[in-house]
Amino acid sequence: MALLRRKLKLVVTVTMVNLFIFILISRSSNQDKNGRHKPLVPSKRFWAKMVPSSAYWNRQQQVLDIQNNLILTANTSGADMPNWLNDSSLTSDLCQPNLRVTTQVKDYNSLPDRFKDFLIYMRCRSYPIMMDQPEMCKKPPFLLLAVKSLAPHFDRRQAIRQSWGRAGVIANKTVITVFLLGNATAKDHHPDLSEMLRYESMRHKDIVQWDFRDSFFNLTVKEVLFLEWIQARCSGARFIFKGDDDVFVNTYRILDFLKGLSGPKARDLFVGDVITNAGPHRDKRVKYFIPESMYVGSYPPYAGGGGYLYSGDIAARLYNVSQHVALYPIDDVYTGMCLRKLGLAPDKHKGFRTFNIDEKYRSNPCAYKSLMLVHPRTPQEMIQIWAWLSRPDLTCQ
C-alpha cells in the first residue's frame, strides 16, 4: 500500500513539473528578444467570406442581417461591401414595383403569377388603412381575438360574432374580437362589396382593413400590419389569439387556460399546433409550393396558421423583430422565422387541432370541451358547437 502511494506521488510530481515547463516555454515563445509579448496571429480568417445565396429569399435575408449588424456597418464603408450587398433598389421607395427582381430570380418568367406578384412587392410593409377601430381597445382587453377574413366571408364573421367571438365579458374576463381584411380586388374576380363592408363595419365596429391585395401569399403582409396595429391601437391586450375565419375556438377553454398562467410562462406564451422538421414543398401542384430559386433550407418550428395563442409581450417583440426578417409568402412559417430570430420556439398544445378530429367524435359535444381550436368548421357548425358548450347542463366524463 505504501509502495502504491509513493508511485502515485511520483506521477503527480512529474506531471506538475511538466506543466510548469510547458508554461515557461509558452511564455517565452510569445516574447521577442526584448522580453515583450508578441501578438498572436490567428492562422485562419475570423470572418468567413460573404457568399450570396442562390435563393432569392435567403439572399434578401443575408442583406438584412448585414444591414442590422452594428459591428459590420460601423466598420465597413459602402465601397467595401460586395456588389450583391450594394443593391441600390433597396434604398428606393420600397412600395414601388421592384422590377429588378425579374432578372434576380433565375426562373422568374416560368413562376406562377402569385409568385411574381409577391416578389415584385416583397419589400413593401406599409399600406394605407381603409377601415380602423381606434377606440376598440380603449379599455385594454384580457383577450384579443384576431381573425383573418376576406371581404366576401360575411357569413363566417357573423357566425363568429354569434358564437366563440362574442365580444364582452366572458368568465369575468374582457374579450374583444377584430376581423383583419385586405382589399378583395376585381383582379381576383371578387365582386365589389365595399358598400356592404362599410355598413358592416359601422354596425359592428370590429373590422380593420388595409389597402393591399388580399391573397394567400399576402397573408404575411396582413401579419406584419396587424402586429403594427396592435402596438398602435391595442398594446394593452394581455393575450392574443390569431386565426382563420373557418375555425371553431373554445373561448371558455382558452380563458380557463390563461387564468392559470403567470410570470415568465405568461410573458413568453406562444402555443398552437406546432409543426417541426418541415421544409418547403417542391411539388408545383401543392398550394404551399416554393421553388428552390426562392428558398433553400428547412423551416424553423412554427404553429399552424389555423390559429395560435400568444402574449401581448410576445406581440411587441414579434413586431420589432419582424423588421429584420424578409417577408416570406407563407405567414405561419414567417411567424416561426420571427420567433427563431428572437431565440424562441412555439410550444405544442394538444388542444389545438388544425387537422380536425376523428369523424366519429365530431358530433359529440364533449369532444370539444377540452379543446381550444378545431379546424375546419362551417358557420352553422360554429353556432351548433357553441350552443353545446354553453349549455349549463352539459356534463362530460
> Is 175 inside a domain boundary?
yes
Say yes or no: 93 and 200 in one domain: no
Can you give the pLDDT at residue 80?
A: 55
**Are 177 and 291 members of one domain?**
yes
Q: Range of 368's domain? A: 129-389
pLDDT-derived band at 358, boundaries 50, 70, 90: very high
φ/ψ of 232, rounded to 5, equals: -85, -35
Chain Cα centroid distance, residue 80: 33
Q: Is 65 exposed, middle or buried (0-12, 13-18, 19+ CB in 10 A)?
A: middle
Average pLDDT of span 305-321? 97
Statement: residue 9 has pLDDT above 90: no
Q: Is the pLDDT of residue 39 over 80?
A: no
DSSP state for residue 142 in the 8-state scheme: S
Strands 173-183 and 347-348 come out as unpaired
118 or 35, which is more confident: 118
Within a domain: 45: no
Contact 78, 94 (CB under 8 A): no
Question: 216: Cβ–Cβ under 8 A, 6 or more apart, which residues?
Answer: 114, 287, 329
Q: Is residue 323 part of a domain?
A: yes
Residues 204 and 110 in one domain: no
> Do both 139 and 92 map to the same domain?
no
Location of C-alpha cell 377540452: 370
Peptide bond into 376 cis (omega under 30): yes
pTM as predicted: 0.86
From 120, 149, 172, give the residue that closes a domain.
Answer: 120
**Structural domain ending residue among the three candidates 120, 149, 165:** 120
- For the chain, the domain total comes to 2
Shared-domain flag, residues 81 and 174 = no
In a domain, 32, yes or no: no
**Span 236-248, pLDDT tens digits:** 999 999 999 999 9
Instruction: Identify whether residues 115 and 145 lie together within a single domain.
Output: no
At 25 the pLDDT is: 55
Instruction: Give per-residue pLDDT as tens, 367-396.
Output: 999 999 999 999 999 999 999 999 999 999
Residue 119: what pLDDT?
97
Inter-residue contact 143 to 241 (CB < 8 Å): yes
Looking at the fold, whether 116 and 136 belong to one and the same domain comes out as no
Q: Please choose, from the candidates 109, 111, 60, 122, the residue with its C-alpha nearest in 3D space to the C-alpha of residue 290.
A: 111
Q: Please tell me whether residues 179 and 92 are part of one structural domain.
A: no
> What's the pLDDT at 156?
98
- 234 and 257 assigned to the same domain: yes
Do 110 and 142 lie in one domain? The reply is: no
Q: Single out the residue in 120, 150, 174 at which a domain terminates.
A: 120
Distance CA 350, CA 225 (A): 29
Instruction: Provide the CATH number for the domain around residue 157.
Output: 3.90.550.50
The angle subtended at Cα 303 by Cα 182 and Cα 61, nearest 5°, is 70
* Local confidence band at 36 (pLDDT 50, 70, 90 cut-offs): low
Determine contact, residues 145/206, Cβ cutoff 8 Å.
no
Q: Are 232 and 381 members of one domain?
A: yes
Is 312 a member of any domain?
Answer: yes
- In a domain, residue 49? The reply is no
Query: What are the C-alpha distances in Å from 191 to residues 150, 152, 184, 186, 206?
Result: 12, 8, 8, 6, 22
Question: Which ranges in 234-305 belong to alpha helices (H)?
Answer: 251-259, 263-267
302 pLDDT more than 90: yes
Give the model's pLDDT for residue 246: 98
For residues 304-324, give the mean pLDDT. 97
191: in domain: yes
- Note whether 144 and 258 are same-domain residues: yes
**In 3-state terms, what secondary structure has residue 175?**
strand
Which of these, 386, 296, 294, lies nearest to 56 by C-alpha position? 294
Average pLDDT over residues 138-160: 98
> What is d(CA 46, CA 149) in angstroms, rounded to the nearest whole number?
49
Residue 38 is assigned to a structural domain of this protein: no
Q: How far is residue 332's CA from residue 343's CA, in Å, rounded to a whole number?
A: 17
pLDDT number for residue 1:
57
Distance CA 290, CA 281 (A): 6
Other Cβ atoms less than 10 A from the Cβ of 241: the count is 25
